[in-house]
Structure 1
Amino acid sequence: FYALDFTLTELKSLLVHERRDEKGNQVFKDRYQGEANFQIATFEEHIELVQQLNRQFGKDTGFYIEIKSPAWHREQGVDISQLTMSLLRRYQLDDSDKAVYIQCFDFTETKRLRNELGAKVKLIQLIAENDWQESTTDYDYLKTPEGLKDISGVAQGIGPWIPQILDLEKKAPTNLVTMAHDLGLAVHPYTFRKDALPANVSTHEALDLLFNKAKIDGLFTDFTDITIDYLSQ
């Protein structure tokens, strides 16, 4: 089943918990282990919560939105990109000067967001491996100078998989970040997890390799506190 097979009321009857495998075991054993009554929140509820917390605490925490499997959704009669843009505009968030990004693995959709839907918000092209079959996009091409140049025509940056920019075990960066920076593209790799690092790399060393050796501009992480503490030092 898919989310769109259910009503919102039905989805909100489900409980949200830490990721589990097919046998019901928690994948990341040291993370949150409780069984509290957490529910799915809508995108709009997240917007309201973050905006109100920003107002109360004088912060400018933004939004990083992913358009997931847009071609498949359109086959089901749902245009999630259009829905996303409509909601962002309702809250005056379709603005390149605000802390708002949209990311997508489908390069055709990234171009559609900019050229057809008129998105002003910052766009990030996610880069997978071709055998993941995230979309029909040729990611091997996107990692070339020509592919990156095509991305720079519509997006502000790329979101590569960490092993595409850095071999953590060998502690050696690739040239992908440099090529992207030469075209003015920001680089926001995914996903840094302190409980999924090579045995010979500490948390601090991994962040040091990413920010100071690979020279990334931002980072997707399940551990925002550790990353913020590292950057503040």
Structure 2
Amino acid sequence: MKKLIVILVLSIVSCTNNISKKAVLTNKKIVIAHRGASGYLPEHTMEAKAMAYAMNPDYIEQDIVLSKDNIPIVIHDIHLESVTDVATKFPNKKRVDGRYYVIDFTLDELKQLNALERFNPKTNKAIYPNRFPLRKSIFKLHTLQQEIELIQGLNKSTGKNIGIYPEIKEPSFHLKEGKDISKIVLKVLKNYGYKTKNDNCILQCFDGNELKRIRNKLNSQLFLVQLMEFKKDEAKLEEISKYADGIGPWYKQIIKGKNKNGNWQISNLVTKAHALNLKVHAYTFRADELGDFKSFDELLNTVLFKANIDGVFTDFSDKVKAFVNKN
């Protein structure tokens, strides 16, 4: 009888521990390295990704655009002139609108460009003047395959398991250009072992119709996040929950300014999303762009804990990890 009681007690303790561990995992605040360590190095360069990896985020983000020869390139925009020296290297390749499109360049041509800290092409001044000096050192563009191999290689050599968080950029533009970017990206992800929600990959997109297509027509079983930008998107949460696993709103859709007592007002977006079993990963948290917040910690505390979002996209993964670890 005593032996039976001991076994029952041990079983209860074991179950309790498992529940506790599950709860911890469920409630974990996710840190996503936005364009890599973009607060410190030019965005979406391999150097920025390696530095981000060393900061131990949960995921590293990849924005994806196709080259002329259908290679997925890691770059934030479909244009090149704000983050490369393309205007100097290929002055005659701009379109009639005066812009240089990634899709007009082969991979070999893109490799000839230097990647730069983001700048305004009209003024030639850096968007964030206190970040990495503009036009210093040498950085290059790279492919999605190269970045995946870097992250997976580091996972192997360090024993960590940092995930990837790719975004398909402007799929309708690509389709008009005769390219099915989603199909190409999904094939690459599958080739590297990212197929289901159990794999360490979250796929995001602003285009709701494309995300539905990815789920229903292209039969992707990945964890999908619907990015959101406008107020009208908030009315579509129930529809989103039918094809996506989470939402990625701008954090100002969640924080609505202060009331007359000086307290931050929080919308019901996160509560509504959670009621539909949608995770909420908000963008973008920058220590050098605080708005009306007195400190980065105040911003993080308001959104992560008062608003109870599940994760953040940040240019400063090290600062967010330190904040999360101490709270």
Q: State the Cα distance separating 1:167 from its structure 2 match.
A: 2.7
Query: In structure 1, how many angstroms separate the alpha carbons of the residues matched to 2:226 and 2:215?
Result: 12
Which structure 2 residues correspond to residues 49-198 of structure 1 after superposition, within 5 A? Answer: 49-129=150-230, 140=232, 142-144=233-235, 147-167=236-256, 171-198=264-291
Per-residue deviation, 1:82: 0.3
Q: Are 2:125 and 1:25 equivalent residues in the alignment?
A: yes
Counterpart residue identity of residue 159, structure 1: G
Q: Unmatched 5+ residue regions in structure 1?
A: 130-138
Alpha-carbon separation, structure 1, partners of 2:292 and 2:176: 43
94-103 or 115-124: which moved more?
Answer: 94-103
Alpha-carbon distance in 2 for matches of 1:112, 1:200 = 39
Contact kept, 8 Å, 2:281 with 2:312, in 1: the verdict is yes
- 2:146 maps to 45
Distance in structure 1 (CA, Å) of the matches to 2:104 and 2:280 = 35
User: Closer, same or farther in 2 for the Cα pair 1:48/1:168, shift >3 Å?
Assistant: farther
Deviates more, 1:29-38 or 1:155-164: 29-38
Change (3 A) 1:70 1:231: same
Alpha-carbon separation, structure 1, partners of 2:162 and 2:187: 21
Change in 2 beyond 3 A, CA 1:108/1:212: same
- Identical aligned residues as a percent: 40
Tell whether the 8 Å contact from 1:122 to 1:156 is kept in structure 2 after alignment. Answer: yes
Is the 1:168–1:198 contact (alpha carbons within 8 Å) kept by the matching residues of 2?
A: no
Following superposition, the deviation at residue 198 of structure 1 comes to: 2.1
Q: Which residue of 2 aligns with 1:134?
A: none
Structure-1-length-normalised TM-score = 0.92
Q: Secondary structure at the residue paired with 2:126?
A: coil
> Larger Cα Rg: Structure 1 or Structure 2?
2
Asked whether the equivalents of residues 293 and 299 of structure 2 are also in contact (C-alpha less than 8 Å), the reply is: no
Does the aligned pair in 1 maintain the 2:193–2:199 contact within 8 Å?
no
Q: Answer yes or no: is the 8 Å Cα contact 1:169–1:198 preserved in 2.
A: no
Structure 1 residues 200 and 152: CA distance shift in structure 2, 3 A = closer
Q: Do the aligned residues in 2 keep the contact of 1:169 with 1:201 (CA within 8 Å)? A: no
Relative contact order, higher structure (CA 8 A, sep 6+): 2
The alpha-carbon distance between structure 1 residues 199 and 173, as it changes in their structure 2 partners (threshold 3 A), is: closer
Please state whether the residue corresponding to 1:220 is helix, strand or coil.
strand
In the alignment, the residues of structure 1 paired with residue 141 and residue 242 of structure 2 have an alpha-carbon distance, to the nearest angstrom, of: 36
CA separation in 2, counterparts of 1:169 and 1:31? 30
Pairwise CA distance, 1:168: 5.1
Which one has a larger percent strand, Structure 1 or Structure 2?
2
Q: Deviation at 1:98? A: 1.8
CA-atom RMSD in angstroms: 1.2
